[in-house]
Structure 1
Amino acid sequence: MLACVIYYSANILFGLANRKFLISILGIEYQGVNGLFGSVLNMLSIAELGIGTAIIYHLYRPLANDNKEMVGSIMQFYKNCYRGIALVMLTVGMILSVKLDFFVTASSLPVNIHIVYYLMLADVIATYTFAYKRSILYADQKNYIVAIINTFFVVCCNIVQVGILYWTKDYYLYLSVKLGLRLLENISINIYVSKHYAYLSAKKYPKIAKDLLKDIIQKIKGLLFHKIGTFVVNGTSNILISKFLGLALVGIYSNYYYVISAINSVLQQAFDGTTGSVGNLLATEDSSKRLSIFEELNGINTLFSAIAVNMLFVLINPFIKTIFGDEFVLNHTIVILLVLNMIFTNQRRVFGVFKAASGIQYEDRYVPIAESLTNIIISVILLFKFGLAGIFVGMLVAQCCVYLYTFPILIYRNVMKKSITDYTKYLLFVFSFHIISLSSVSWVFHVFIEETIMNYAIKGCVACIQTILIFYVFWHNTDSYQHMLNRIKLIIKK
């Protein structure tokens, strides 16, 4: 976990410095291009079909049992799949390049957007061409190896890119360095895996069993819909902003998105390791124990998320203003919508852990489609009336789909054996806490604390303490409160 924290910290700090230099030296529209083409190319990840998730799931048991024959067969199957995926992504990526003008409206950039796109496409293809060997490290609980290698190359890449910006101001070279170091990063991981799992390349393994292939295909069918939904909800905002509002606004929003997604990634690290334990819980304990652990984990997640959200709410604009300048700050209404979306996203986390541990991937396959359609329709309609705010309202409304079906029906009723009424009461309790804590933090800073750089640390500390106190008021009489305290101590210790 420490290696992962170091990786995310390095990624955030060096990434912010990189963005600062890019915007200062070349301009905000270059950051807009990065954000736009990043979203467009994320569309290609749909071609991955969720195979990686399904494969890692099926590697747990044979690795635990030291069944090298089965591990070899699965990895060989995975390798062949990813070669085909890389070819499909390259083909679709080249087709999309013909219609780049659809995504980019008026732009004053003195670069060929097609060359920029091809360099970024090559970066994505390089990732998928070599990525399959990472899966065995994840399945073998050696994420820290990947984190250590990633950290080294993240630091090197950002330092070299900043140097290129400073000395040459060459955007093509800036992107080429990232591509080159990405290849070296993947080659390094492949060398490590080849050395420590030498049996993978020692011989040609038989094809995977038909029943295993059938189960993988079944999971992929469900995961495909989730891949589409994830892209539409998280990836289309930059495309819509670029198409209707301009590249410069994409660049401005991408700074906010970068900070928010970085915070969410750090929070996710605290819960990534719980899926296996929850899977064992579901297999061995009754519904009352499941509910107790769920409420305990969700309480911890709610506390950490509320602290992060409330601190972000009072600090994000001053932070952006300090790092990038006044002209790159979004208005208060937009920040409120971003924070509300963050709350909805974070409250999905523990539900997601129980969903993954339960193997629920196919049963709710149509929910992400409903989420996607809701997001696009509402975002496009409101975009013309409210501009940027309309897009984020669409994202917020779309997120409600999982709260209306997947969580109450498949998780709360089927796994925890509780009624929809109980689910509704619990959800109202959690979101009431978020609304009251966010409102009170906002009021305190609006009335009592002035907007100065010297007050940033004070604002952060006050927001944190205030959130913890309100959490205590809400939770101290619940059955899971003491369990939560013990769990938090354990997380901090680890």
Structure 2
Amino acid sequence: MSRTKNSIANSLFGIAGSLLSVVISFVVRFILIKTLGEEINGLHNLFQNITNVLLLMELGISSAMIIHLYEPVTTGDEEQMAGILSFYRTVYRYIALAFFLTSIVVSLFFLKHLVHTTLPFHQVQLYFQLFNLTFVLNYLTNYKRSLLFAAQKNRVSVFFNSVAELTFRIVQILSLLMFKAYLFFLILTIVEKLMSNLLCNRYIDRHYPFLRQTGQELASSKRQAIMTTVKSLMLNNVAGTVQQSSRSLLISMLLGNISIVGYYGNYQLIISVVELIYSQIGGALTSSFGSLAIEKDQQRLQAAYKKAAFVLNWLAAICCAGFLICVQDFIQLLFGEGSLLEFSSVLLLTFGLMLYLLNIPIISLQNALGLHHLDAYYMLLQAGLAVAFGYVGGLVFGMAGIFAGMILPLLWLTVIRKGMVVSAYALGMSHRSYLSFLSYESLKILLVSLVAYFMVSCLGLNLSFMTLIIKAFLVLIVGLTLPAFLSSRQTELAYVWKLLQHRLQKK
């Protein structure tokens, strides 16, 4: 129950922080477009995707550290905790230097081939360097946060993130309105990240005073074990980042000017909201799975996985239906009709979102147990196929072809193959059992989306913010009731009711 409480608390804090971040991000993007124009918006979105590729040099070190911190945190081994974090700090200093130098090389020799803009190129280079400086300084100040995740205190990290984000995003908005300068916007982003990390580090130093002692050396065997974990994580991270970032790059290369990337970026921002919320829940699950795995009880771990997946997939049904039904109205009301994508692209983005959300429980389990070696090379294959299929699809069918081409390898190699391999290794589930569970969960999400879509279509509502609220309410009703009806024979539903009754009785 303590793990469940921690997971719920971390998830709730994470969701609250994510929702706050989402609201602020939309306001900031709206002000950014209105004050600086679509060109800067597209440039900002492209910088994010280029930087995502550069972040591959992190190699998965942070995830590896968390995996190897679970045991010393559980057993209270202060010496090993201090040694791991000291090693982490040293590695991150080298990564920060490598990232800084690489960003300079990209700025000098490659940026001009990726950016098509009317802005002076030296100005674009300056913006790019400032954008990347945020990540350089983050590497130098962020390493202690891993201890909070391993100790199931993710909520502390979220709290300090939210405080810094709320403060500096408000200042960013004021800066855009007063000065209309992208330069000041980027500088404030740097300060925001630094403040968040410094506040978090102060909390950690106060609650874990042994970390301030010097001279803790990590045993060479432990360093080797961490680097072994890193190798598999690196391949997975490379695959994921290439696939995620290549969408914007392919759109920019194949479909025209930088403004089109910005149009896609508006949709991606909404998708990122859902992914951000799920990343908080997934992080809480990873901590719980990692702590539970120390007990080496496979049957109990399988039960925990199924319960978590059941709850998350229920939420996924609401999110996917909400995106499909509300996103076009939201984009049109906020950014104008000229920013809309074709419905075929929206449909494919919804399906891709569904696949991403279905993966969260199994990926959380893989992260917790460090099982990335099971499919590392298949993830590289997936990334290569996604880029190739996306490129061909883009040449033939445009933006919808890019999305469709990149979804196929994800469905085959992550949703199906990764799930079967990890569930068999970690949970002892047969491939047939896993696919049966996954298929039924997917069917529920698809049915909720289809039923909600046809219900809303029959109403024939006109475009307005009130209409958007009505549609969202209908999605919520269908999303809450239909999965409950379809899950009446699943044992996980009884767990949800029991958990709700426990919370109500406590109140």
- Compute the TM-score of the two structures, normalised by the length of structure 1: 0.93
Q: Which one of the candidate residues 33, 53, 76 is aligned to 1:23? A: 33
Give, as a single letter, the amino acid of the residue that structure 2 aligns with 1:364.
D
- Kept after mapping to 1: 8 A contact 2:66/2:149: yes
Change (3 A) 1:291 1:197: closer
Q: Match for 2:420 among 403, 408, 420?
A: 408
Letter in 2 for 1:6: A
**What is the CA-CA distance between 1:41 and the residue it aligns to?**
0.9
Specify the alignment match of 1:342 in structure 2: 353
CA distance change for structure 1 residues 26 and 371 in 2, over 3 Å: closer, same or farther? same
Question: 2:238 pairs with 213, 228, 235, which one?
Answer: 228
Q: How many residues align?
A: 491
**Shift of the alpha carbon at 1:488?**
5.6
**Could you say if the C-alpha distance between residues 483 and 371 of structure 1 is closer, same or farther in structure 2, counting changes exceeding 3 Å?**
same
Structure 1 residue 472: deviation in Å? Answer: 2.8
Is the alpha carbon distance of 1:114 and 1:357 closer, same or farther for their aligned partners in structure 2, counting shifts above 3 Å? Answer: closer
> 2:141 matched to which residue of 1?
130
Matched residue, 1:458: 470
The corresponding residue for 2:62 is 52
Aligned to 2:491: 479
| 1:318 paired residue number | 329
Task: Give the 3 Å change call, closer, same or farther, for CA 419–188 of structure 1 in structure 2.
Answer: closer
Per-residue deviation, 1:341: 0.4
Partner of 2:378: 367
Superposition deviation, residue 279 in structure 1: 4.3
Could you tell me whether the CA contact under 8 Å between 1:86 and 1:129 is conserved in 2?
yes
Q: Which whole-Å deviations, capped at 9, do the CAs of 1:128-173 have from their partners, x for residues lacking one?
A: 1211122223333332332222112211221111112111111212
Instruction: Tell whether the 8 Å contact from 1:130 to 1:186 is kept in structure 2 after alignment.
Output: yes
Report the CA distance shift for 1:489/1:234 in structure 2 as closer, same or farther (over 3 A): farther
Contact 1:267 1:305 in 2 (8 A): no
1:395 aligned to 2:395? Answer: no
Paired letter, 1:100:
L
- Asked if the contact 2:59/2:230 (under 8 Å) is kept, the reply is yes
Instruction: Report the counterpart of residue 250 of structure 1 in structure 2.
Output: 261
Distance 2:101 2:35 in 1: 34
Q: What is residue 171 of structure 1 aligned with on the other side? A: 182
Q: What is aligned with 2:227?
A: 217
User: Against the structure 1 CA distance between its residues 23 and 355, is the aligned structure 2 distance closer, same or farther, given a 3 Å change threshold?
Assistant: same
Equivalent pair of 2:64/2:370 in contact (CA under 8 Å)? no
The question of whether the paired residues in 2 share the 8 Å contact of 1:267 and 1:304 is answered with no
Tell me whether 1:4 sits opposite 2:14 in the alignment: yes
1:260 aligns with 271
Say yes or no: does 1:71 pair with 2:81: yes
In the TM superposition, what is the alpha-carbon distance from 1:281 to its structure 2 partner?
5.1
Over 3 Å counting, the alpha-carbon distance change for 1:46 and 1:182 in structure 2 is same
Matching of residue 386 in structure 1 with residue 386 in structure 2: no
Q: How does 1:169-318 map to 2 (within 5 A)?
A: 169-206=180-217, 208-245=218-255, 246-279=257-290, 289-318=300-329
- What is the one-letter code of the residue matched to 1:80? T
1:301-355 Cα distance to aligned partner (Å, 9 max, x none): 1111001111121111111122222221222111111110010000001112332
Where in structure 2 are the equivalents of 1:135-150 lying within 5 Å?
Answer: 135-150=146-161
Residues 423-459 of structure 1 show CA distances to partners (whole Å, capped at 9, x for unaligned) of 3333332222222222222211112241332222221
**Distance (whole Å) between structure 2 residues aligned to residue 489 and residue 28 of structure 1:** 50
Query: SS of the residue aligned with 1:415?
Result: helix
Distance 1:285 1:427 in 2: 24
Whole-Å separation in 1 of the counterparts to 2:352 and 2:236: 18
* 1:248-306: CA deviation from partner (whole Å, max 9, x where unpaired): 01111111111111122223433432334434655657665554443332221111100
Q: Which runs of 5+ in 1 are unaligned?
A: none
TM (norm. structure 2) is 0.90
Residues 300 and 488 of structure 1 are in contact (CA less than 8 Å); yes or no, is this contact kept in structure 2? no
Q: State the distance in 2 between where 1:263 and 1:491 align.
A: 25
Give the Cα separation in 2 of the matches to 1:20 and 1:61: 45
Deviation at 1:33, TM superposition (A): 0.8
Partners of 2:185 and 2:456 lie apart in 1 by: 41
- Give the gaps of 5 or more residues in structure 2: 1-9
How many angstroms apart in 2 are the aligned matches of 1:63 and 1:430?
34
C-alpha displacement of 1:78: 0.8
Q: Which amino acid aligns with 1:177?
A: L
Task: For 1:196 and 1:295, locate their aligned partners in 2 and report how far apart those are by CA, in whole Å.
Answer: 34
CA–CA separation in structure 2 for the residues paired with 1:90 and 1:491: 49
**1 CA distance for matches of 2:355 and 2:502?**
26
Question: What one-letter code is carried by the residue in structure 1 that aligns with 2:128?
Answer: Y
Q: Higher mean Cα deviation, 142-151 or 370-379? A: 142-151
> Per-residue CA shift, 1:343-393, capped at 9, x if unaligned?
000000111233233331212111210110111000000111111112211
Equivalent position of 2:4 in the other structure: none
Match of 2:433 among 415, 422, 428: 422
- Distance across 1 between alignment mates of 2:418 and 2:368: 14
Of residues 72, 83, 91 in structure 2, which corresponds to 1:81?
A: 91
- The aligned counterpart of 2:455 is 444
After superposition, the Cα gap between the structure-2 partners of 1:426 and 1:73, relative to the gap in structure 1 and judged at 3 Å, is closer
Quickly say closer, same or farther: Cα 1:10–1:435, change in 2 above 3 A. closer
Q: Assess, with a 3 A threshold, how the Cα gap between structure 1 residues 358 and 78 changes in structure 2: closer, same or farther.
A: closer
How much does 1:399 deviate? 1.0
The alignment partner of 1:108 has SS state of coil
CA RMSD of aligned residues (A): 2.3
Shift of 1:490: 6.3
- Match of residue 111 from structure 2: 100
Do 1:218 and 1:362's aligned partners in 2 also have CA atoms closer than 8 Å? Answer: no
**SS of equivalent to 2:468:** helix
Q: Is the 8 A contact 2:59 2:237 kept in 1?
A: yes
How far apart, CA to CA, are the structure 2 residues paired with 1:109 and 1:17?
24
1:331 matched to 2:342: yes
AA matched with 1:394:
G
Cα deviation per residue 1:392-436 (whole Å; 9 max; x = unaligned)? 11221121212342211231x333333323333333322222222
Contact 2:70 2:150 in 1 (8 A): yes
Q: CA deviation at 1:62?
A: 2.3
- Find the aligned partners of 1:491 and 1:38 in 2 and give their Cα distance: 41
Which residue number in structure 1 is paired with residue 7 of structure 2? none
User: How far, CA to CA, are the matches of 1:440 and 1:88 in structure 2?
Assistant: 51
Change (3 A) 1:419 1:61: closer
Q: Is 1:109 aligned to 2:119, yes or no?
A: yes
Q: Give the partner amino acid of 1:469.
A: T
Task: Report the equivalent of 2:6.
Answer: none
